[in-house]
Amino acid sequence: MVLTVLQMLLGGGGSFSAGGPGKGMFSRLYLNVLNKFSEVYSISAFNNIYNNTGIFGIQVTTGSDFVSKVIDITVNELLAVATSGQVNHVELDRAKQATKSAILMNLESRMVVSEDIGRQVLTYGERKPVDDFLKAVDQVTLKDITSISQKPLSSPLTMASYGDVLYVPSYESVSNQFRSK
């Protein structure tokens, strides 16, 4: 649950939102990247959890001439949330409320509920009440966020680029940014 709250805390979005105003506008990636750098078309955190593994990352869309700079910016955002004192209670509370809202809104879809039942039975051997998940979100602390943020940073980097990749820094160069700071 902590990674899901972290995903909401980082959030993100696009420079154009077809879904209406206000979604994710107070997330770290929206405030610290999209609002400050018009060269970034979209940026968002993603998180997929499986039984014994998962993936957490940031997806960015930008022009090839800004890719090196946006990687630096993204690395700094990831390092910031992994540093004690860089995330405040207001940000955490907002992310927790957004997480609970997303859980409840997703459960309004029969298809999502059916998939959720199957996933829970396969994972836990039973279907847990939604209140269990909401309570788990409420229990997430700033220390949890800092601690879980450090795990992906100490894992081998996965990196993919698409389009004009001439200015994309090398894997080693990007990977070293997490080790040198």
| Domains recognised in the chain with CATH numbers | 1-170 (3.30.830.10)
Q: Percentage of residues in the chain with pLDDT exceeding 90?
A: 62
Output the pLDDT for position 54: 83
Nearest to 179 by CA among 139, 150, 158, 159: 150
In the predicted model, what is the mean pLDDT of the chain?
Answer: 88
Q: Strand pairing of 54-62 and 40-49?
A: antiparallel
d(CA 145, CA 84) in angstroms, rounded, equals 9
d(CA 147, CA 83) in angstroms, rounded, equals 9
Half-sphere exposure of 115 (CA within 13 A, CB side): 7
Average pLDDT over residues 58-68: 93
pLDDT band at 12 (very low <50, low <70, confident <90, very high): low
pLDDT of residue 23 exceeding 60:
no
pLDDT of residue 158 exceeding 70:
yes
Output the pLDDT for position 135: 97
